[in-house]
């Protein structure tokens, strides 16, 4: 067609010119400050904007305002597979809920670069107003990064000492494990094993510690040989359980550091023809959706992941708004979910 040219995206300047007003006037009106202008001017600008299909360029706006209305969700390389990471997706649900309602968006930053210096430049590049560190691992360069930035920041799923100056939000691992162990003891179990999570996660360490402490509190000896495993995944639970079942002496119950481990453990039992809970009782942690659907349904502790995400989002917004960092730890306690994977020992 004659005269057609690549229609460039209309800018504020164009709208202003077409409407016969200055750029400042157009800016005011199109960003909602209509009370500064006469109804006629407002209407003129608005109608031109509509006709031209004007959409404000948020990048330009962000450059001036120095804020982007975007929150970065920083994921360790090990976590970037969402489908394997129920925790991450649950937290994101909570985040989306709070932040979305406040007009914030999420930017997923999956780290590939692990050199602390470039890592830090990559994250704090002006495109986010705050960051959620999703389950940072012990020793992660992420933690070091924080020393160099003033970006508001919340840690979710890991709990670090105050000295690191983070605000940490997580489930109360110690409390949850205590619930589970006490339940087992109450059901008559005294021979209890534990399948651990990875030793780079603070929650895994806390869960193991809580396991030991609770047994000790009840005067039950801790059998080191029955403490196995080093992964939060099903495969890890499967292998650890296999190893456990090969020992000359077996516990009557096994506490798993999370549900996936428990699932793997149950699989290992099934494979060996060992029935759960008749021959061995198993408990989990998290209460993931599958937990109630497997056979037998898993006794576990609910992990209020969604609330955690929600609270983390709120805490982050608070930091952003007040402009001052927040420190400390906030733990969410879960309740025991009794299902059928634990047998009551009589006699």
Partner DNA sequence: TCCTGCGCTTGAAGCGCTTCAAATTCACAC
Partner DNA sequence: GTGTGAATTTGAAGCGCTTCAAGCGCAGGA
Which residues are near DNA by CB under 7 A?
Answer: 8-9, 11-13, 20-25, 27-28, 30-31, 36-38, 40-41, 54, 56-57, 60-61, 63-66
Judged by CB under 8 A, the chain residues 262 through 281 that form the site for its own copies are 263, 267
Binding partner at 23 among DNA, its own copies, none, C-beta below 5 to 8 Å by kind: DNA
Q: Does 11 bind its own copies (CB under 8 A)?
A: no
Residue 294 touches which of its own copies, DNA, none (Cβ within 5-8 Å per kind)? its own copies
Whole-angstrom CA distances from 179 to 98, 283, 304 are 30, 11, 15
Residues 284-313 that bind its own copies (CB under 8 A): 289-290, 293-295, 305-306
Find which of DNA, its own copies, none residue 114 binds, CB within 5 to 8 Å per kind: none
Q: Choose the contact partner of 52 out of its own copies, DNA, none; CB within 5 to 8 A by kind.
A: none
Q: Which of 16, 21, 42, 92 binds its own copies (CB under 8 A)?
A: 92
**Partner from its own copies, DNA, none binding residue 187, C-beta < 5-8 Å depending on class:** none
Select from its own copies, DNA, none the partner in contact with residue 211, using the beta carbon and a kind-dependent cut-off of 5 to 8 Å: none
Which x/- pattern over 175-214 shows residues binding its own copies (rule: CB under 8 A)? ----------------------------------------
Site string for its own copies, 136-175 (x = CB under 8 A): ------------x---------------------------
Asked if 108 is part of the footprint of its own copies (rule: CB under 8 A), the reply reads: yes
Range 43-62, binding its own copies (CB under 8 A):
50, 53, 55-60, 62
The listed partner (its own copies, DNA, none) that binds 233, CB under 5 to 8 Å by sort, is none
Report how far residue 326's alpha carbon sits from residue 314's, in angstroms, rounded to the nearest whole number: 12
Burial pattern 17-33, b for ≥16 Cβ within 10 A else e, equals: ebbebeeebbbbbbeee
What minimum distance in Å lies between the beta carbon of 55 and its own copies? Answer: 4
C-alpha closest to that of 26 among 44, 50, 52: 44
Assign 3-class secondary structure to the chain. Answer: CCCCCCCCCCCHHHHHHHHCCCHHHHHHHHCCCHHHCCHHHHHHHHHHHHHHCCCCCHHHHHHHHCCCCEEEEEECHHHCCHHHCHHHHHHHHHHHHHHHHCCCEEEEEECCCCCHHHHHHHHCCCCCCEEEEECCCCCCHHHHHHHHCCCCEEEECCCCCHHHCCEEEEECHHHHHHHHHHHHHHCCCCCEEEECCCCCCHHHHHHHHHHHHHHHHCCCCCCHHHEECCCCCHHHHHHHHHHHHCCCCCCCEEEECCHHHHHHHHHHHHHHCCCCCCCCEEECCECCHHHHCCCCCCEEEECCHHHHHHHHHHHHHHHHHHCCCCCEEEEECCCEECCCCCCCCCC
Report in angstroms how near the CB of residue 128 gets to DNA at its nearest.
15
Name the binder of 278 from DNA, its own copies, none, CB < 5-8 A by kind: none
Binding of its own copies by 83 (CB under 8 A): yes
Given the rule CB under 8 A, which residues bind its own copies?
50, 53, 55-60, 62-63, 68, 70, 80-83, 86, 89-90, 92-93, 96-97, 100-101, 105-110, 112, 117, 120-121, 124-127, 148, 263, 267, 289-290, 293-295, 305-306
């Amino acid at each position: 067609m004659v005269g057609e040219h690549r229609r460039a995206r209309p800018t504020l300047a164009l709208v202003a010119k077409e409407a016969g007003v200055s750029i400042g006037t157009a800016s005011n009106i199109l960003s909602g400050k209509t009370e500064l202008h006469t109804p006629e001017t407002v209407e003129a600008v608005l109608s031109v904007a509509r006709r031209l299909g004007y959409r404000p360029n948020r990048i330009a706006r962000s450059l001036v305002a120095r804020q982007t209305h975007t929150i970065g969700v920083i994921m360790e390389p090990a976590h970037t597979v969402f489908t394997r990471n129920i925790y991450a997706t649950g937290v994101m649900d909570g985040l989306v809920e709070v932040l979305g309602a406040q007009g914030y968006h999420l930017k997923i930053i999956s780290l590939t670069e692990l050199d602390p210096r470039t890592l830090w430049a990559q994250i704090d590049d002006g495109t986010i107003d705050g960051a959620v560190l999703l389950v940072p691992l012990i020793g992660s360069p992420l933690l070091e990064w924080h020393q160099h930035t003033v970006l508001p920041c919340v840690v979710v799923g890991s709990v670090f000492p105050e000295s690191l100056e983070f605000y940490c939000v997580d489930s109360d691992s110690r409390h949850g494990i205590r619930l589970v162990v006490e339940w087992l003891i109450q059901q008559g179990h005294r021979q209890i094993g534990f399948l651990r999570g990875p030793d780079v996660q603070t929650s895994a360490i806390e869960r193991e510690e809580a396991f030991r402490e609770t047994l000790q509190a009840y005067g039950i000896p801790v059998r080191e040989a029955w403490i196995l495993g080093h992964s939060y995944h099903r495969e890890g639970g499967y292998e650890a359980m296999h190893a456990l079942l090969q020992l000359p002496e077996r516990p009557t119950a096994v506490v798993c550091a999370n549900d996936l481990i428990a699932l793997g453990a149950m699989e290992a039992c099934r494979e060996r023809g060992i029935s759960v809970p008749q021959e061995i009782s198993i408990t989990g942690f998290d209460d993931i959706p599958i937990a109630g659907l497997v056979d037998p349904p898993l006794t576990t502790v609910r992990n209020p992941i969604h609330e955690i995400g929600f609270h983390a989002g709120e805490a982050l917004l608070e930091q952003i708004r007040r402009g001052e960092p927040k420190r400390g730890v906030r733990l969410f306690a879960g309740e025991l979910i009794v299902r059928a994977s634990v047998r009551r020992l009589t006699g």
